[in-house]
Amino acid sequence: MPRLAARTGDRVLVTGATGRIGANLSRALLSRGYRIRAIVLPGDPGCRKLDGLGVEIVQADLRDAPAVAEACQGVDAICHLAALMGPDAGDMPVIDYWHLNVDATLHVLEGARLNGHLVKFVFASTDATYPASKPRYIPIDENHPQDPVNLYGLTKVVGERLCRDYLTEFAVPIAIVRYGGVASPDERASGATFRLSAQLQRFRDAKRSHNNYLWANVVDYERPWEYLEPLATGEGDPLIALTDLEGRPWQSHPTDVRDVVQGTILALENEVAVGEVFNILGPAPVSTVEAVRYLAERLGVPWRTAPVPFRQAIEVSTMKARSVLGYRPTVDFFKAVDDGLAMQRGEDIGVVPAKLPNR
């Protein structure tokens, strides 16, 4: 029987190793005694996150199939994390976006097939492959229909399907992890996503493009941002907690980057993960009112509730990862905020920040 679990000393190829998850995963794997090869985009400033760690850097764009195939040779396992998330894609033409997320995955899978000796291929997928912002039921488990509300989610559904084909046709030992709402503590503590200005922008974007998580919730409303405009009094940029018209808070399911790293390593190191898919999210969902109240107190900034006639309530089950892999997410929203504030004070909590400060 071929070995299907990675172990100390193995060489792991990480794509997306300069991202918020990839940089922390690479460090965690190095500290467990793995050797890391990273494919990074030429000129990527995030490469500094890997400085001095002894990571073997291959500069290549994943759209370059021969370069990717070469980088896949001689490794024992692959963690394929690189992607462009939908909301980050901005106004990128759909075809370019497809090349970035779908062709890139196909190239890494082809490299895996040509390698022929992998013990594991972990594919980073997402809860956006479900209609997470408009689910049929909650908590969303792995059997929930994959019916994404945006193009990003669709590219990951296709990526997952390609992975399954490479497992069936070529015995590439695939494990799929579906993350959701991931942030590093420094991002969590910034409170940026709850700012009125950010919420107004999000509501506007929801009517401009389908490559976001909100448009399906506001489909019946022509100018949803008008519910928030009265709050823009010109006095600062308060934190906003969205509720529905009955006062029920919106709910998100946040995940700390350290829990994602834990779940990914479990998928890498457990042979039972082959052919399986696991939701990897944080310990619990959080109400926006609780989250915003906590942040406002910690940051010493004003906050308001904003009633709107639609609601998102996201909750994803991690039961399968807990029972099959022993996954134990430990960092809830509140701890992540506290840890992020510690990072802002210059304390080293062992997390690579999402964005390095300018030198």
Ligand X SMILES: NC(=O)c1ccc[n+]([C@@H]2O[C@H](COP(=O)([O-])OP(=O)(O)OC[C@H]3O[C@@H](n4cnc5c(N)ncnc54)[C@H](O)[C@@H]3O)[C@@H](O)[C@H]2O)c1
The verdict on 20 binding ligand X (CB under 6 A) reads yes
Helix/strand/coil percent split, the chain, to 5: 40, 15, 40
Q: Does residue 80 contact residue 173 with C-beta atoms inside 8 Å?
A: no
User: Whole-number minimum distance, CB 104 to ligand X, in Å?
Assistant: 5
Of the candidates 42, 174, 45, 55, the residue with the CA atom closest to the CA atom of residue 105: 174
Of the candidates 118, 109, 110, the residue with the CA atom closest to the CA atom of residue 75: 118
User: Whole-number minimum distance, CB 214 to ligand X, in Å?
Assistant: 15
Query: Residue 175: which H helix or E strand, with range?
Result: strand 174-179
User: Whole-number minimum distance, CB 337 to ligand X, in Å?
Assistant: 16
Q: Does residue 317 contact residue 139 with C-beta atoms inside 8 Å?
A: yes
User: Whole-number minimum distance, CB 6 to ligand X, in Å?
Assistant: 18
Identify the residue whose tokens are 């010493």.
300
Our CB check for ligand X shows the closer of 228 and 279 to be: 279
The verdict on 124 binding ligand X (CB under 6 A) reads yes
Residues in 83-122 at the binding interface with ligand X, rule: CB under 6 A: 83-85, 100, 104
The verdict on 55 binding ligand X (CB under 6 A) reads no
The verdict on 63 binding ligand X (CB under 6 A) reads yes
The verdict on 212 binding ligand X (CB under 6 A) reads no
User: Whole-number minimum distance, CB 221 to ligand X, in Å?
Assistant: 26
- Token representation of residue 285: 């969902």
Q: Does residue 40 contact residue 18 with C-beta atoms inside 8 Å?
A: yes
The verdict on 181 binding ligand X (CB under 6 A) reads yes
User: Whole-number minimum distance, CB 39 to ligand X, in Å?
Assistant: 6
Query: Which ranges in the chain belong to alpha helices (H)?
Result: 20-31, 65-71, 94-98, 104-115, 151-170, 185-190, 196-208, 257-269, 288-299, 319-320, 333-344
Our CB check for ligand X shows the closer of 22 and 173 to be: 22
Our CB check for ligand X shows the closer of 218 and 316 to be: 316
Member of 6, 10, 12, 22 binding ligand X (CB under 6 A): 22
List interacting residues with ligand X (CB under 6 A).
Answer: 15-16, 18-22, 39, 41, 44, 46, 61-63, 81-85, 100, 104, 124, 126, 179-182
